Amino acid sequence: MIIVEGIDYIVIPTGDLESSVKFYSELFDFETIEERTGEFAIIGLDSVNIKLLHTNGSKGALSEAKSPVLSFVLDVDDFTEAIVELESKSVQIVRGPEARDGGEFLHFLDPSGNILEINYKED
């Protein structure tokens, strides 16, 4: 069993990044911008983060963007053990492990082809 410490973020595709940041900030009081690029913004509310992903408004853009729909946070030891478990269960790994933000991430597919992520960040 993979031991998860929490959910890092949930991806929401958007055709207009600026208006989506404004919408979630003004309507639901998401205030904290955790990270922002021209392609996405991660905004937070307490312990919940959403990643607004710019998709140019096309249908099916989330899968075309090859971005995870759910990101699980693990500690570094559990991350290593999770990779072993995914491989032992023949789960399809589509990206990683790769370094990012002082840690690592790995993308894999669920049975329906949705991309999931596991990651850890060094403290």
What average pLDDT score do residues 13-23 get? 87
> How far is CA 69 from each of CA 8, 9, 12, 59, rounded to the nearest angstrom?
11, 8, 8, 15
Question: In this predicted structure, what is the pLDDT of residue 63?
Answer: 43
- For residues 31-57, give the mean pLDDT: 84
- In contact, 113 and 97? CB cutoff 8 Å: no
pLDDT of res. 58: 52
Query: Which residues lie across from 104 on neighbouring strands?
Result: 99, 120
Q: Where are the domains of the chain?
A: 6-121
Q: Does an H or E element contain 99, and which?
A: strand 93-100
pLDDT in tens, 89-101: 999 999 999 998 8
Better-predicted residue by pLDDT, 89 or 31: 89
* ω into 111 cis (within 30 of 0): no
Nearest to 31 by CA among 10, 17, 45: 45
Tell me: the pLDDT tens digits for 56-84? 755 444 444 467 778 889 999 999 999 99
CATH number for the segment(s) 6-121: 3.10.180.10
pTM, 2 dp: 0.66
In sign, the C-alpha dihedral spanning 77, 78, 79, 84 is: positive
